[in-house]
């Protein structure tokens, strides 16, 4: 079960398989999953809870080893934490006793690298947090904390941004705001983004491509190309095209066989189809 790999692909996952060792025996988290992400592409991965999405993302970042298969960035196999990869998690993970600026600077301290303070100031300004550098996390809303996490991830100027349900804990209104912000930043910076979410509407709003995973062990069941014009407006979410597409993706997840390898070959639905 493989995905065709194009010449310009920034990030390529080939036949990824992951077993965790647990007290009750090996746990099969991902099964022969392949995906490729074009340079500068915005890709979402959706799938049911526990299907292996976070595992996949951690393997992409070099934070977990695969049991089988490879992850390549710029053609080179990822074997450990990769300098070109920035990560954003569901929780902002800010240390409560450090100001925002000091939270952003922490990874630089750990790596003993000199930060570009002007760049960080520009990023804080870009996410609407200019002048907030001396605040503490408790003084900020959840959405503002995630803006700090975005700045922290971008402060290294990574070419690949991996985002694991970053807005899952936010209310719907704030999530919409954050999605607009992420699209704007992506259009400005041309980062290659892989974004994981349970929320199919969010995936449709953000992506160029959606990879749909089956229930655990996570396998690739379908690829959707999404070609709505950019920048996208929230009005898009109220259209019948999006409604139908979301339902089609939901049906793929619900009907995918859940256990064991050797399921059906994944298919790609092209943008024209996706637009009804
Ligand atoms: N470190 C670990 N050790 C053992 N099992 C693990 C470990 N991490 C994850 N798992 C198991 O692997 C499977 C996939 O987990 P993972 O967190 O990747 O799923 P997910 O798709 O991100 O789920 P969710 O949508 O709930 O975040 C789950 O059954 C989980 O319990
Ligand atoms: Mg997860």
Banded model confidence at residue 33, pLDDT cuts 50, 70, 90: very high
Whole-number mean pLDDT of the chain? 91
Report residue 276's pLDDT band, with 50, 70 and 90 as the boundaries. Answer: very low
How far apart CA 243 and CA 135 sit, in angstroms, is: 40
The model's confidence at residue 255, banded by pLDDT at 50, 70 and 90, is: confident
Greater confidence (259 vs 46) lies with 46
Judge if the upstream peptide bond of residue 217 is cis by omega within 30 degrees of 0: yes
Q: From ligand 2's centre to the CA of 80, what distance in Å?
A: 20
Backbone angles phi, psi at 17, to 5 degrees: -130, 135
C-alpha span between 139 and 25 (Å, rounded): 44
Closest ligand to the CA of 52: 1
Centroid of ligand 2 to alpha carbon of 56 (angstroms) = 9
The closest ligand to the CA of 45 turns out to be 1
Pocket test for ligand 1, best of 33, 47, 52 (most atoms within 8 A of CB): 52
Domain spanning 9-84+158-269: CATH 2.40.50.140: no
* pLDDT tens digits along 200-251: 999 999 999 999 999 999 999 999 999 999 999 999 999 999 999 999 999 9
User: Which atom from ligand 1 is nearest to the alpha carbon of 21?
Assistant: 4
> pLDDT category, 39, cuts 50, 70, 90?
very high
Ligand 2: centre distance to CA 218 (Å): 12
Percent of all residues in the chain with a pLDDT value above 70, rounded to a whole number: 91
Whose atoms come closest to the Cα of 218: which ligand? Answer: 1
Q: What residues does ligand 1 touch, defined as CB less than 6 Å away?
A: 20, 22, 27, 29, 47, 49-55, 198, 216
CA 263 to centroid of ligand 2, rounded, Å: 23
pLDDT tens per residue across span 126-167: 999 999 999 999 999 999 999 999 999 999 999 999 999 999
What SS3 string covers the chain?
A: CCCCCCCCEEEEEEEEEEEEEECCEEEEEEEEEEEEEECCCEEEEECCCCCCHHHHHHHHCCCCCCCEEEEEECCEECCCCCCCEEEECCCCCCCCCCCHHHHHHHHHHHHCCCCCHHHHHHHHHHCCCCCCCCCCHHHCCHHHHHHHHHHHHHCCCCCEEEEECCCCCCCHHHHHHHHHHHHHHHHHHCCEEEEEECCHHHHHHHCCEEEEECCCCECEEEEEECCCCCCCCHHHHHCHHHHHHHHHHHHHHHHCCCCCCCCCCCEEECHHHHCC
Pairing of strands 220-225, 68-73: unpaired
pLDDT band at 268 (very low <50, low <70, confident <90, very high): low
Per-residue pLDDT, 4: 54
Other CB atoms within 10 A of residue 113 CB: 11
Q: Using the mean position of ligand 1's atoms as its centre, give its distance from the Cα of residue 89 in Å.
A: 14
- Residue 5 is predicted with a pLDDT of 53
91, exposed or middle or buried, with CB in 10 Å at 0-12, 13-18, 19+? middle
Give the atom of ligand 1 at the shortest distance from the alpha carbon of 20. Answer: 4
Q: What is the pLDDT of residue 257?
A: 74
């Amino acid at each position: 079960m493989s995905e065709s790999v194009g010449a310009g692909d920034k990030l390529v996952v080939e036949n990824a398989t992951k077993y965790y060792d647990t007290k009750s025996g090996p746990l099969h988290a991902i099964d022969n999953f392949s995906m490729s992400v074009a340079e500068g592409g915005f890709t979402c991965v959706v799938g049911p809870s526990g299907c292996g999405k976070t595992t996949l993302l951690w393997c992409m970042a070099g934070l977990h080893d695969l049991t089988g298969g490879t992850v390549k960035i710029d053609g080179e196999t990822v074997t450990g934490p990769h300098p070109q990869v920035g990560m954003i998690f569901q929780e902002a993970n800010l240390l409560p006793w450090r100001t925002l600026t000091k939270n952003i600077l922490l990874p630089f301290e750990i790596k003993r690298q000199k930060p570009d303070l002007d760049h960080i100031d520009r990023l804080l300004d870009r996410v609407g947090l200019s002048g907030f550098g001396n605040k503490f996390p408790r003084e900020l809303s959840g959405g503002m904390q995630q803006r700090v996490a975005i700045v922290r991830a971008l402060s290294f100027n990574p070419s690949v941004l991996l985002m694991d349900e970053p807005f899952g804990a936010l209310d719907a209104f704030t999530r919409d705001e954050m999605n607009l912000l992420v699209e704007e930043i992506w259009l400005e910076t041309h980062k290659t983004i892989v974004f994981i979410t349970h929320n199919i509407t969010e995936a449709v709003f953000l992506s160029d491509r959606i990879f749909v995973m089956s229930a655990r062990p996570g396998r690739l069941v379908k690829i959707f190309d999404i070609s709505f014009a950019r920048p996208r407006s929230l009005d898009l979410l109220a259209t019948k095209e999006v409604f139908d597409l979301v339902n089609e993706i939901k049906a793929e997840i619900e009907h995918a066989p859940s256990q064991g390898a050797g399921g059906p070959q994944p298919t790609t639905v092209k943008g024209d189809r996706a637009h009804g």
